[in-house]
Structure 1
Amino acid sequence: MKTIWKNAWPYLLAALVFVVLTLVYCSPVLDGKVLQSGDNLTWQGAYQECKSYTQETGHHSFWTGSMFSGMPNYQIGGGKYPATSLLLPITKILRFGLHNEVIIILLAYFLCFFILMRSFKMNVWLSIVGSIVISFSSYFFIIIEAGHNTKALGIAWMSAVLAGFVLMYRKQYAWGFVLSMLFSFMGLMKHPQMSYYLIMLMGVLFCAELYIHIKEKQLKDFAVATLLFVAAVALGAGPQYANIRANNEYVKETMRGGHSELVKASDETNKTAGLDLDYATAWSYGLDETFTLLIPNF
């Protein structure tokens, strides 16, 4: 029992620190105030018709008449698939059984970044401080205020999946497998952009691990870790297949897919498909803006 307590108390302390910081920072929420996030308000209006239909009939609709002259609602939230429904109870656990999005996101930032730092064998205290510093990056709060909640949760869970990736190559297969399966819940957030960024990061780490294992002549261990990680991600991402396939079919008929009649090329010599680069990246960071990740009001 003493050994268990000795190993567990730093993590319990970290969790306590994160909970206290979250409650202090989110004290206006505890006073009953509500964050008026623009994108959330827009989504509520778009989703209300489907929500009412589900409440009245008990069935989920894959079509909404409240947007344009009617359109599929795959990305609005109305469509539910049997496979993804199996994950919903686990999702409630990952959301700490809470309902307030701001508190959920901040706790997820803290805990997932902490897990990532521990996977790199940082000591507990440095991991706590590092997690707090990273979590309070200005950008992570700007997107909450804007209502990009799914993006924020995707960023948080990226850290946990990366931790699983690292632990696989440290031969901590059980924890690595469990954390790697969180890739599935990133899919539930329906923000694939975060998954793309995660794959890029894992690609860099993969090359680094390959170099290290070749240098230390441990290719067998590398192969085992890689296969287990792929299996964990495949098992986690499998329930997302129906959602991904439906979205793939739908996007071909949209502005971003380059097939919508609503989009006309401003220049007849423009042969590119989809959106213009300037339009597609209008809300992306410029080179100098990147420093706002570390420096508030840069």
Structure 2
Amino acid sequence: MVLCKKWILAKPFEGQVKKDNFKLEEEEISDKLNDGEFLCEAVFLTVDPYMRTRELGAKVGVAMGGEQIAKVIASKNANHPVGSLTRMRSGWRTHTLVKEADKEVIRMPDLGDLSPSLVLGIMGMPGMTAYFGFLEICKPKAGEVVLVNGAAGAVGSLVGQIAKIKGCTVIGFAGDDAKCKWIKEDLGFDHVYNYKKIDIDVALKEAAPDGVDCYFDNVGGEFTSKAIMHMKLFGRMSICGSISAYNSTAPPMGPLPYMIILGKQLKVEGFIVMRWFQKWAEGEKEMKTWIKEGKIKYRETVTEGFDNMPKAFMGLFSGSNVGKAIIKV
């Protein structure tokens, strides 16, 4: 038998995520395998803001969901030998018994000499969110002005760099001076602001006096209520997330945007990245090329230890991470 640890939802989320929303449990998994089965041990796990909303409907006692990279430790499957790595949506757990690999295992991209942890970040869901959510919806053109908030996060930091690759002027907003320095000096954003220290209207009038062509929104709320006023005629808005509202106990209130959308003839489109899952190989190849060419840089905030997963998750909503938040077991 193998002893597996797993984090379950102890009580529903309400307001800020708290430590007592989670409970660490253990279960025994048989190591007596049938043909085609294999047993995995987690190596890297991910926490992402979407889990806050995704788990709203979860029942108390259900393990938290999400992807992980795991190492095969016992196998009766020739395609997944001992020592190989797998990518699965097996959630916040240390061990997983895979019975139907065709259904449970997700294809791994070609990493070359890159770290396997990147499959949970720049070479995985966050990277493809930036790639497809920005390029397919905003369709940026050289010379245009691109606005991105949450610009030091796993997605926003990539959107801004992709925009620079496409020849755009990039405006980024982040939540502290160290993050702003990183995206300005290391990532090459043209205009960077700490939204906690400057009024958004003032900043956008300075950085984009003629308006914004493309807006990639990770934040929602008051930020977007103000940003939409600065969009150009026929501007495009890609709605990726609304982290400002995830911990709200009441619906966010703000000015209704419909006359602005109508008058400026804006394209406003929300998306879930799995829409393009069949095309991910295209985005993975491009992202890997850009990394190798030095056109895309990234950072990971690594939390050591499976027992610290809730702490890493809560940190997403206080802005403690720079780039992708990863748990290393």
TM-score band, normalised by shorter chain:
under 0.3
Q: TM-score, normalised by structure 2?
A: 0.26
Greater RCO structure (CA 8 Å; 6+ sep)? 2
Instruction: Select the structure that is richer in strand.
Output: 2
Hey, which of these two has a bigger chunk of helix by percent? 1
